[in-house]
Structure 1
């Protein structure tokens, strides 16, 4: 039972990403309805809704609700992205260029991480958006 769920930002250039975001939000809503009658084993599950839905940035930017320091995992993030070799720039490929197969696309991802890292005084940062207010525990933060 997760407390937090991450989804693509609900505004994006790719309609699949927009719909995936909508599906996650709708699924979280319905998962918390105790009176919803569903067939089979799904119907036997206890109603549960995570506390927060956080959206991550893809193509379109937003004013972040918060930024996380990703200095320790940025290289792993880039390795994970590059694992999808057929999606990104390949100079030997004869396929037509796409938005994400342009040679500069991976540089864009790093530049954005550098920008958000700069905003929090770190090397790399990852921005997130939440439609709801987020509680901040200042007392424990100051300890």
Structure 2
């Protein structure tokens, strides 16, 4: 398993893309190695199925230039029941890939799975740096330099702003890979994601851009106030 510069973690395929696809696109274009971890296969999603969602994730990966994508196959809507296992496995992946930056969902979100992953990743990032936690001589303790939270459904004033204006159409193309989630197709049901969701994402990132003096920006928050021009 190769090392990564950025490891972006979400509950479901499409979470990372919603909040951070633009920043990951920019990083990949700079030659950085990008990994995405989905904790579940989103098997309880109202629309689509696991096979379709994996096909969509693979299409998104090709556009993003992702180095590696992982899926732990943990239970959708059941992450709290396997919390210790999830933390342990994220710790192991962090130590194996040794990313400089870890991205996780913002800790307040309408979807409980997003909040669960936020807490799981926070604990895993901390525990990965503890030598006596799951000691492994082959993959010693390691703590990433930064843990940043990206937005899915919620919005607060970001502490980190990334100008994604130049590649914003590319971000939208990445999100459109997930047609089963964002489009009403024959046999699908209406959800918040099929009711102008991509437009709401664009509105949020135009707002972040306006605040930063650019057209479009992705926003993140971290443990302490700081501003980065890129990831």
> Does residue 96 of the first structure (1) align with residue 189 of the second (2)?
yes
Q: TM-score, normalised by structure 2?
A: 0.53
Q: Which of the pair is proportionally richer in helix?
A: 2
**Would you say how many aligned residue pairs link Structure 1 and Structure 2?**
132
> Does residue 3 of the first structure (1) align with residue 100 of the second (2)?
yes
Structure 2 residue runs without a partner (length 5+) = 1-97
CA distance in 2, matches of 1:119, 1:63: 9
Give per-residue Cα distances to partners, 1:11-50, cap 9 Å, x unaligned: 1111111111112111111110112245xxx563110001
> Does residue 118 of the first structure (1) align with residue 210 of the second (2)?
yes
Structure 2 equivalent of residue 72 of structure 1: 166
Q: TM-score, normalised by structure 1?
A: 0.82
* Matched-pair contact (CA < 8 Å) for 2:103–2:150: yes
Structure 1 residue runs without a partner (length 5+) = 137-143
* Matched-pair contact (CA < 8 Å) for 1:37–1:43: no
3-state SS, counterpart of residue 109 of structure 2? coil
Distance 1:87 1:123, change over 3 A: same
1:106 to 198, 202, 210: 198
CA distance in 2, matches of 1:31, 1:72: 35
**Greater Rg by CA:** 1
Considering only aligned residues, what root-mean-square deviation do their CA atoms show, in Å?
2.0
CA distance in 2, matches of 1:4, 1:45: 18
